[in-house]
Structure 1
Amino acid sequence: MIERIAAFCIRQRHWVVAVIAVLTTLLAWFALHIEVRTVFEDMLPSRHEYVRTHEKFKDTFGGSNMVTIMFEVDQGDIFRPEVLDKVRRVTLGLREVAAVNQYQITSLASKKLKEVRASTAGIESRPLMWPEVPANAGQLSELKQAVLRNPLVYGPYVSKDLQATLITVDFNDRQIDYAKVFTQVKALLAQVQGDSVQVRVVGDPILYGWVNHYLPETLHLVLYALAVTLAMLFVLLRTWRGVVLPLLAGLVSAVWALGICHLLGISFEPLVIVVAMLITSRAVSHSVQIVNRFDDELPLLPPGAGLSRDAARIALADLFRPGMLGVIADAACMAVVALSPIPMLQKLTVLSVVWVCTLTISAVILTPVLLSYIRRPHGVAHPLDCQPLLRKLLDLCVRVTLSRGRYYVLGGAALVVLAAGLYSLNLKIGDANPGSPILWPQADYNRDAAAINARFEGVDRMFVVIGQDGHQGYVKSNEALQSMSQFQRFIEAQPEIGGSQSIADVLPQVNASLREGNPRYLELGASADLNGSLMAMLDSVSEPGDMDRFTDAHYANGAVTLMFRDRQGETIRTAVARIKDFIAAHPLREGHWQLAGGVIGVMAAVNEIILSSQIEAIALALLVLAVICIVVYRSSVAGMVFMVPVIISNMLTFAFMTWKGIGMNINTVPVAALGIGLGVDYAFYIADRVKEEIAIGSTPEQAIRKALHSAGMGVVVTASVLILSTLLWWVSSLRFQAEMGLLMAIWLGVSATSALFVMPSLLYVFRPRFVFGEASRAYAVTVHAGPQLS
């Protein structure tokens, strides 16, 4: 069947090229219109308990797209007209930013931060600094004293040293465009920078805005990597076909994938450009293998007008199986990620699987078809010949495999895998370091986050809800208020949680104000009736939206908001575990607790999904790979043999991630899944060439020598080219891209080393029947080469 497919493609090459060209042109138009953006809702595992809580209460208690802005001064305090005016200008300006939730803008200059006073005339609540900035020293002093008296402001919104103040603002999840919000907020803050006032800003809209900000640099790095790839291919292969055809294979696959995904309504996430580069590297790899095989066949065929066609047909026929097997393995291993309930990973899986499948057309079929048009196949483009140097490396591989060194290779590989596997047990789920792992520690965003966390209780928030739907007024009950207060004292013992807020913090202030500020009454009321009265007094002097941070409109559900100093996976898991411990130890008679909203709540849900599914996903991907190998080679041993290079590459890569502090999160999971297929691609070509040589009567030694010098040459060329080009990503301003580029380079290096040393040693020692056939059994007895697997 494969011979017939190859013969048909070469015989009908004009039609094949024409159909591919037409389809590529049509899909190119759609590819140019694909959206490049981050969709927040796609990051949420909608079926998770925490996300359901977040979606239910985010409009009341605050969503996960909150932005925090800090104004700080080096000398004196913030209670100066020029500083407070900047706060007011930004507070008002935020109302004009796209997708802003105008009811969730909180600062000294907003109406939400108030002082509650009581007198003989009654209880009074008034904004601390609204609508105007204090005009004289007396008013500034009065504002300062009001802040110092209010624990809901002094600490949470004004730093303890009085040198910094915050603005917090939330955005509507369904309407937000990160690039637009980033641009507008940055432009607004640029108007107030200077005059010895430092303005810092953090939050997911700003973080993903930075990702979009660096998109031009990312595209430049893609071009640089492409230039390095083409230059090295030109030097190593010495032909223009060795440069143009791999480039064409990568471009056609990209056009088809992006065009098809646009038709499916899938946008392109800027961070997954690393995955795109990884898949494109497979296109280059498959294409180079075919070009290299074409060059190998030229001296073996009689010269004539049909030389190129015959060599191209043989290359297509002989490499169709390993090429397709590599494509299917990559696609199947990536498809496992679709089992995750996170829409972003599901859409990325569709994009990746489509992209990988296009390699069948762009590399496996188009490359040999175009090779059949070569008129002078024996010509070279430059006199520099690197082949002798590469052959010396391949000679080393042959000597190691055919000597006793093969046993040292297999033993050493086993020890390395064991050590790497044990070390990988420390791999972190979620973010492994403070700050965002997407950006470098010295990036503006991470420095701003560290500065805000140093002065305030924490940038990132989680809210936990206590209440009972349909039970109006439950939050006013003693059970709810006392539970909130106890829970806050309990959870704040965790060092990474800087503070917390709830309605249980507000009522003691009202209670003390009614008694002329007597600190003895700075506590919750002794009865539900008294607490209800305090809350009614507070509600009577509040405006719509003032209580949203603490309770819903019917007082059926209240929130305890926790401020986190970092987003590390261990911090979040510890907090969630302690919350669950508290709930278990303090059961409620009427209400119930609901976990968990806000950005930390959403991250906790994602981390739990990854933690629970990552081991299963890797195991399933390995199982899928084994089944594919068993079906294609009709041997159960094939699945075990090809599992070896995959396990080696994955264990070493996970060990590297552990060593470098790269956590397994929503961005790194797709790279890990695709790496399973990547770890075995090179091994397919080596094993299949050995099988092919055995089939034509070669001895095992001859077959391994021929396979290493033929398919091995393609492995050396593609691995060296792609490793160098991916290492260029280390200069990226996005830490995630730099580390994933380095990860790809390690993956490629380990996979190539496994294919050149471990795979031939494994085949030569165990002589699996699916490669060597029945004849190898008698040969093994004759030469005493080793045990025989069947």
Structure 2
Amino acid sequence: MNKLSQLIMAPIKGSEEFAERFLFHRRLLVLVVFALATLFLAWQAVQIRPDASFVKMIPTSHPYVVNYLKNRDDLSGLGNSVRVAVAVKEGDIFTAEYQQALQQITDELFFIPGVDRAALKSIWTPNVRWTEVTEEGFVGGPVIPPEYDGSPESLDQVRTNVLRSGQVGLLVANDFRSAIVQVPLFDKHPDTGEKLNYQALSEQLESLIRDKYESDNLSIHITGFAKIIGDLIAGAVQVVIFFGIAILITLVLLYLYSRSVSGALVPLACSIVAVIWQLGLLKTLGYGLDPYSMLVPFLVFAIAVSHGVQIVNTIALESARGADSWLAARRAFRALYIPGLTALLSDGIGFVTLMVIEIRVIQDLAIAASLGVAVIILTNLFLLPVIMSLVGIGKTATKRAALAEQKQHSGWQLLTWFARPRGAFTAVGVALVLLGLGLFQSQQLQIGDLDTGAPELRPDSRYNQDNRFITENYSTSSDIFVVMVGTENEQCSSFETLSLVDRFQHYLTDIKGVQSSVSLVDVSRRVTSGLNEGNLKWRTVSRNQLVINASLSYVPAGLMNPSCSLLPVIIFLDDHKASTLTGVTQAVGQFADQYGSEQIRFEMAAGNSGFEAATNQVISTAQYQMLAWVYGVVSLLCLLTFRSFKTLICIIAPLALTSVLCQALMASMGIGVKVATLPVIALGVGIGVDYGIYIYSKLSTYLVQGMPLRDAYLNTLKTTGKSVAFTGMTLAIGVVLWVMSPIKFQADMGILLTFMFLWNMLGALILLPALACVLGCEKSTVTLPKKDSRKQETENAL
């Protein structure tokens, strides 16, 4: 291990020597280069735009989604779509005023860019028809007759046609007080070929539909993936407000901590530069910001502040020992380069592990976070010491650091109790109890959404109110799960296929969470009965293929493809909770295994609930892979840096405890593991490992001098420990403001990150020294090689 460690760490140590000489002997050049780069990347950053895509939100390599994408062109309206319900507050929909408004709204939606116009449905579109059995056979036509003129007679005809169309509960509410316009969407703008802009689409739905047509007696209710994303982007604008508040809070706390204007402004400015660089590089590389990665810039700012505080604190201490600003900054750089670089590499590689989750939106978040950590190495580890070498820390901060170092008694001595055997065993015992409780409670943690509607938004949000309206007034829910029945060409309407699908639909009625289902079988049964004077005895799948063919002379769009090789079964669910989706997928899978064959294949799944089920399955597997990778990588870097398994346990154990307790907290709060919350654990580990690396790195420098653990830890607390406590509290205060966000998943992330910041801080300050005491680390401390020759070279250079 020592040879491997030396082999890997040698380039890092070599880069330290080169970087120190270059930075501090060419300060003007460094500042000019950084200034030019910041101007260019700031210009790029202001051009970055929200970027959301339906395909990015689903695991495109999952078999369910692969099946959908393979049949995408034949599944009209069963992918990404919006539903617009137009409701009257008094009366019903059979008035001239209402029908005129519904017609105008249908026309407005028809011409919005990105709408699949051929598949758009409402009672005003020609693809929604009525049929009736008469003595002369079947008769039918569009629900709105060509001769409609708004007269009472024509409105009565519309009422009759609606009742005969079978659309009550589907496109027309059960109480006849609202009607729906079903709006399927393309993923790309038909004119430009660019990805559909959901923010612009959502704004168009608001301005062209809701704002324009909503009145005292007319209300508009809009649901669908595009509207969720639009509302998330609109709400995420408040992230900028929270970010500004966090900057002000951090500035005030930095000044109170350092008692230096430069000690507050410089690390804050460098941290903001890191955010600018991150956003600018994302734009340069062709990325945007989706609603989930919009929170990453704050995390980059938080990590940058964390490292900046350590550097400013070390500069203040070196200045208190008599060094001028240039030498103090150079010594701080030398002392913190390897632990800082190790911590940042751990952060960055930890974030990269999110790439194992094959969902594009999480992978983009991983890239954004990793890129942010990479630029922190340049802005806070390199640029900050250079600027501080020019402006200095200030006399007040220097005097305060000198007094703090000379002070024999301080409040930090209370924490040294955990570095003694009695306190150490007490802390480890409490940690083990918490670990057991956390593991027990985390067993209740579930995958996926645990609430109805859009859990990303507040229960009282406009979207969830709209979703609740549609669910309460229509027979079919907005949670659709589609099973694709594949056959050979021209065989989807065979008796063997239809009879098996008929059995499948009967099987579905016994599955918990299933409301109803619709397929080609329903058309065939209904028409067959109609061809026989409406006799209910004929409402079945006929064994006579000629009868079946006659019953399918007209099939509504979306129930079979042109080659008759695909027959979708559309299943309406009570909700899209994780338990519901798990039950449905297991039941469908059992039926497919028992009755499916090469000739008749039951393939899951399309529809919003089908994609949700695929996402849940990916996350269920990937969360453990992600944790294994993030802890594996962080552990390896710590092991290579400190070359001690005992040290590794001291640093990693507090992080693992925090992760378990975070999962227990999620289970207690009813927060499921999903796209929005899964990255939190990796982000928390990435930020938390900084605390442990900095504290143990400083602790080991005192232990190698022969100090007892208690004294070494007291000195660590007065320096690095103080910075860790300050950083943890500052970051927690910044993210706790997120609980006021209108976006529920941001509020959830605020709670979880606040918890992880504080617990990682307490773990580093309490559990780390306790583990060091229990494991006897003071007897086997390995520290980084001394740099006496370089130190003498620096002193001579003065």
Q: If the length of structure 1 is used for normalisation, what is the TM-score?
A: 0.91
Q: Distance in 1 between matches of 2:50 and 2:360?
A: 16
Q: 1:105 to 1:393 in 2, by over 3 A?
A: farther
Q: Distance in 1 between matches of 2:320 and 2:489?
A: 87
Q: Report the AA paired with residue 112 of structure 2.
A: V
Can you list the C-alpha shifts for 1:611-656, whole angstroms capped at 9, x where unaligned? Answer: 1111121012111111111111123333333220110111111111
Can you list the C-alpha shifts for 1:393-447, whole angstroms capped at 9, x where unaligned? Answer: 5232123433622211111011112211221122121112212121111101011
2:149 equivalent to 1:127: no
Q: 1:381 to 1:115 in 2, by over 3 A?
A: farther
Which of 722, 736, 740 aligns to 2:745? It is: 736
- Name the SS for the 1:479 alignment partner: helix
Q: What residue is the counterpart of 1:98 in the other structure?
A: 113
Q: Distance in 2 between matches of 1:259 and 1:495?
A: 49
- Name the SS for the 1:248 alignment partner: helix
Which of 348, 360, 363 aligns to 2:365? It is: 348
Q: Report the AA paired with residue 332 of structure 2.
A: A
Q: Report the AA paired with residue 364 of structure 1.
A: L
Question: Aligned-pair distance for 1:132?
Answer: 6.7
Q: What residue is the counterpart of 2:788 in the other structure?
A: none
Q: 1:11 to 1:130 in 2, by over 3 A?
A: farther
Q: Report the AA paired with residue 424 of structure 2.
A: R
- Name the SS for the 1:111 alignment partner: coil
Contact 1:293 1:710 in 2 (8 A): yes
Which of 179, 182, 186 aligns to 2:206? It is: 186
Question: Aligned-pair distance for 1:170?
Answer: 0.6
Q: What residue is the counterpart of 2:795 in the other structure?
A: none
1:51-66 correspondence runs (5 A): 51-61=65-75, 62-66=77-81
Question: Aligned-pair distance for 1:76?
Answer: 3.9
Q: 1:94 to 1:685 in 2, by over 3 A?
A: same
Q: Distance in 2 between matches of 1:110 and 1:667?
A: 38
Q: 1:528 to 1:404 in 2, by over 3 A?
A: same
- Name the SS for the 1:433 alignment partner: coil
Q: What residue is the counterpart of 2:774 in the other structure?
A: 765
Q: What residue is the counterpart of 1:212 in the other structure?
A: 233
Q: What residue is the counterpart of 2:507 in the other structure?
A: 490
Q: Report the AA paired with residue 96 of structure 2.
A: P
Which of 747, 759, 765 aligns to 2:756? It is: 747
2:40 equivalent to 1:26: yes
Q: 1:448 to 1:495 in 2, by over 3 A?
A: farther
Q: What residue is the counterpart of 1:442 in the other structure?
A: 460
Q: What residue is the counterpart of 1:542 in the other structure?
A: none
Which of 233, 241, 244 aligns to 1:223? It is: 244
- Name the SS for the 2:116 alignment partner: strand
Q: Distance in 2 between matches of 1:427 and 1:185?
A: 37
Q: 1:35 to 1:195 in 2, by over 3 A?
A: closer
Which of 109, 121, 132 aligns to 2:124? It is: 109
Contact 2:355 2:362 in 1 (8 A): yes
Can you list the C-alpha shifts for 1:695-718, whole angstroms capped at 9, x where unaligned? Answer: 334332221110011111101111
Q: 1:590 to 1:216 in 2, by over 3 A?
A: closer
- Name the SS for the 1:201 alignment partner: strand
Q: 1:243 to 1:492 in 2, by over 3 A?
A: farther
- Name the SS for the 2:118 alignment partner: strand
1:286-325 correspondence runs (5 A): 286-301=307-322, 307-325=324-342
1:529-568 correspondence runs (5 A): 529-536=546-553, 538=554, 547-568=556-577
Q: Structure 1 stretch 581-590 or stretch 685-694: which is displaced more?
A: 581-590
Question: Aligned-pair distance for 1:119?
Answer: 4.2
Q: 1:710 to 1:593 in 2, by over 3 A?
A: same
Question: Aligned-pair distance for 1:769?
Answer: 6.5
Which of 417, 433, 447 aligns to 2:435? It is: 417
Q: What residue is the counterpart of 2:789 in the other structure?
A: none
Question: Aligned-pair distance for 1:255?
Answer: 2.2
Question: Aligned-pair distance for 1:681?
Answer: 1.2
Q: Distance in 1 between matches of 2:290 and 2:149?
A: 46
Which of 352, 355, 369 aligns to 1:335? It is: 352
Q: Distance in 2 between matches of 1:452 and 1:513?
A: 31
Q: Report the AA paired with residue 225 of structure 2.
A: D
Q: Report the AA paired with residue 768 of structure 2.
A: M
Q: Report the AA paired with residue 201 of structure 1.
A: I
2:479 equivalent to 1:460: yes
1:498-509 correspondence runs (5 A): 498-509=515-526
Q: Distance in 2 between matches of 1:770 and 1:63?
A: 66
Q: What residue is the counterpart of 1:779 in the other structure?
A: none
Q: 1:496 to 1:81 in 2, by over 3 A?
A: farther
- Name the SS for the 1:441 alignment partner: coil
Q: Distance in 2 between matches of 1:434 and 1:723?
A: 30
Q: Distance in 2 between matches of 1:241 and 1:437?
A: 44
Q: Distance in 1 between matches of 2:359 and 2:393?
A: 52
2:26 equivalent to 1:17: no
Question: Aligned-pair distance for 1:38?
Answer: 1.0
Q: 1:376 to 1:217 in 2, by over 3 A?
A: closer
2:258 equivalent to 1:258: no
- Name the SS for the 1:596 alignment partner: strand
Contact 1:60 1:548 in 2 (8 A): no
Question: Aligned-pair distance for 1:386?
Answer: 13
- Name the SS for the 1:475 alignment partner: coil
Q: 1:164 to 1:732 in 2, by over 3 A?
A: same
Question: Aligned-pair distance for 1:327?
Answer: 0.3
2:694 equivalent to 1:685: yes
- Name the SS for the 1:563 alignment partner: strand
Q: What residue is the counterpart of 1:140 in the other structure?
A: 155
Q: Distance in 2 between matches of 1:483 and 1:393?
A: 76
CA RMSD of superposed structures (Å): 2.6
Contact 1:109 1:130 in 2 (8 A): no
Q: Report the AA paired with residue 633 of structure 2.
A: V
Question: Aligned-pair distance for 1:531?
Answer: 0.6
Can you list the C-alpha shifts for 1:103-141, whole angstroms capped at 9, x where unaligned? Answer: 221121122221123445553331112557563334433
Contact 1:274 1:741 in 2 (8 A): no
Which of 511, 514, 534 aligns to 1:517? It is: 534
Q: What residue is the counterpart of 1:40 in the other structure?
A: 54
Contact 2:654 2:764 in 1 (8 A): yes
Gaps of 5+ in 2: 1-12, 190-195, 784-798
Can you list the C-alpha shifts for 1:307-358, whole angstroms capped at 9, x where unaligned? Answer: 1122112211111122111101111111111122222222222221111111
Q: What residue is the counterpart of 2:300 in the other structure?
A: 279
- Name the SS for the 2:32 alignment partner: helix
Q: Structure 1 stretch 133-142 or stretch 452-461: which is displaced more?
A: 133-142
Q: Distance in 1 between matches of 2:203 and 2:689?
A: 44
1:699-714 correspondence runs (5 A): 699-714=708-723
Q: Distance in 2 between matches of 1:362 and 1:561?
A: 54
Q: Report the AA paired with residue 704 of structure 2.
A: A
Question: Aligned-pair distance for 1:7?
Answer: 4.9
Question: Aligned-pair distance for 1:4?
Answer: 6.2
Q: Distance in 2 between matches of 1:489 and 1:197?
A: 39
Contact 2:130 2:143 in 1 (8 A): yes
Question: Aligned-pair distance for 1:747?
Answer: 0.8
2:197 equivalent to 1:177: yes
Q: What residue is the counterpart of 2:595 in the other structure?
A: 586
- Name the SS for the 1:560 alignment partner: strand
| Sequence identity (%) | 25
Q: Report the AA paired with residue 451 of structure 1.
A: F
Q: Distance in 2 between matches of 1:165 and 1:520?
A: 33
Question: Aligned-pair distance for 1:182?
Answer: 0.7
Q: Distance in 2 between matches of 1:265 and 1:660?
A: 37
Can you list the C-alpha shifts for 1:164-186, whole angstroms capped at 9, x where unaligned? Answer: 32221110023321012111112
Which of 50, 60, 84 aligns to 2:64? It is: 50
2:181 equivalent to 1:156: no
Question: Aligned-pair distance for 1:242?
Answer: 2.7
Q: What residue is the counterpart of 2:378 in the other structure?
A: 361
